[in-house]
Structure 1
Amino acid sequence: MRFSEPMSSVVPGLHGRVLGVLARTDRALTGRSVAALLHSPASPSGVQKVLDDLVSNGVVIAEPAGRARLYTLNRDHVAAAAIDQLARLRDVLLERIKAEAESWTIPAKAIWLFGSTARGQGDADSDLDLLIVRPDDVDDSEPGWLEQVETLSAHASLWSGNSCEVVEYSAQEIRDLISHGERIVTELRRDALPIAGRTPQQTLNRKAG
């Protein structure tokens, strides 16, 4: 999955990228505004050709605004629901991970997404990075714990198409990282997204319990 532009994972090329921009807003946008909101550059003329094609198919609505034209996704189109779903693939993935994590027989103290995928910058070759905080009273070799972590990692890879890399710390190890001022703590405070359990703010801005 391209986490920066999830739509293009299924609708390749500029069509998917333009649809992703329009699906994320209800504001009417000029063609130049659409081009400016793309995560990676595209020529205004290329964006305009895509918009014209989408308008001709009724997926996008164009309205005159002086010398310009304003574009919005046609929310009444039969494809609109599917487009919205594709635009939020990243959210759907995190919801699946959360649902599985919350079903664990040995609950984690916290599970966060971090790295480039958390920043919305990952592409199809990027790893899906998960940080899992293990309770102090659970050994890292506990069979039940290992099985659920490995199963979640395998499922996350299957759901996204990206390799899932798990970084695991005990709650005490997190406290040690905080007290030693380790760089990863700063990075997690800045970028980590909560999936299950305690949030990064709850865990990293005071001692983890």
Structure 2
Amino acid sequence: MDLKLPISTVIPSLDGPVLQVLARADEGLSGRQIHKLAGQGSVAGVRLVLQRLATTGLIHVDDAGNSLLYRLNRKHLAAPVVEFLADLRTALIARIADELDSWRIRPVHASLYGAIARDDGDLESDVELLLIRPDEIDTGDPLWDEQASHLMQTVVDLTGNPAHVFELSRTELANHLATSAPILNDWLNPTLHLTGHPLETLHQQPVAAE
């Protein structure tokens, strides 16, 4: 799955980014605005896509005097499909969070970072996860490892992208926080929280409380 443009998984043409822009918009946009937000094709190409989609009824065209404004027809039968495809990133986050919530050994913290959190990347980008395990769970714990392995496979099944898990204990995380380790920038800027304590607050809580 293209992590920057997930709708292209199903709609690989210029229609994909155009529909993604319209699905995320709350008001009508001009052809030039859509082209700028889509970041692909030419203005003329985007307008051709808009004209064709208008003939299907999937988008409405409003005359705004000096320009035409386009918006998704959310009453169209296909509109919910477009909206879902335009928001596959949110669906992925929810599915991963649901699996984590079912774990018998719950992580102290779990989040997504890297390309998926930055909302960029491409078909080859890893889906990167940070997992913080409780200190009482040793490295190599069979149940914990089974859970983590299953989660990685879930990500691959859901996206087709490789999954990379960075795992460490609560105490190991505290050491990173205390020394302001450079990797913290990868984990925090930006991050998508999945479950457990927010990463930025963990250093304020005593390790013994976990």
TM-score using structure 2 length: 0.95
State the partner residue of 1:50. Answer: 49
Tell me the CA shift for residue 208 of structure 1.
Answer: 6.4
Letter in 2 for 1:53: R
Root-mean-square deviation over aligned CA pairs: 1.2
State the partner residue of 2:117. Answer: 118
Q: Deviations over 1:97-150 (max 9, x none)?
A: 001101000001111100111100021110000010011000121101100000
Unaligned runs of 5+ in 1: none
- The answer as to 2:7 corresponding to 1:20 is no
Letter in 2 for 1:9: T
Provide the aligned length of Structure 1 versus Structure 2.
Answer: 207
Q: Deviations over 1:59-113 (max 9, x none)?
A: 1100111121000000010001111111111111111100110100000111110
Tell me the CA shift for residue 207 of structure 1.
Answer: 5.0
Local SS of the residue matching 2:132? strand
Tell me the CA shift for residue 191 of structure 1.
Answer: 1.0
Q: Deviations over 1:10-35 (max 9, x none)?
A: 11121011000000112100000001
Letter in 2 for 1:71: Y
Counterpart Cα distance in 1 of 2:201 and 2:4: 27
Q: Deviations over 1:145-173 (max 9, x none)?
A: 10000001001110111111111011111
Q: Are the counterparts in 2 of residues 175 and 208 from structure 1 also a CA contact under 8 Å? A: no
Tell me the CA shift for residue 187 of structure 1.
Answer: 2.9
State the partner residue of 2:81. Answer: 82
Counterpart Cα distance in 2 of 1:95 and 1:18: 25
- The answer as to 2:96 corresponding to 1:97 is yes
State the partner residue of 2:137. Answer: 138
Counterpart Cα distance in 1 of 2:180 and 2:88: 35
Tell me the CA shift for residue 5 of structure 1.
Answer: 1.5
Q: How many percent of aligned residue pairs carry the same amino acid?
A: 36
Counterpart Cα distance in 2 of 1:199 and 1:192: 10
Letter in 1 for 2:31: G
Tell me the CA shift for residue 202 of structure 1.
Answer: 2.2
Q: Are the counterparts in 2 of residues 21 and 37 from structure 1 also a CA contact under 8 Å? A: yes
Q: Are the counterparts in 2 of residues 3 and 122 from structure 1 also a CA contact under 8 Å? A: yes
Counterpart Cα distance in 2 of 1:156 and 1:18: 27
Unaligned runs of 5+ in 2: none
Letter in 2 for 1:88: D
Counterpart Cα distance in 2 of 1:176 and 1:72: 50
- The answer as to 2:131 corresponding to 1:166 is no
State the partner residue of 2:106. Answer: 107
Letter in 2 for 1:175: A
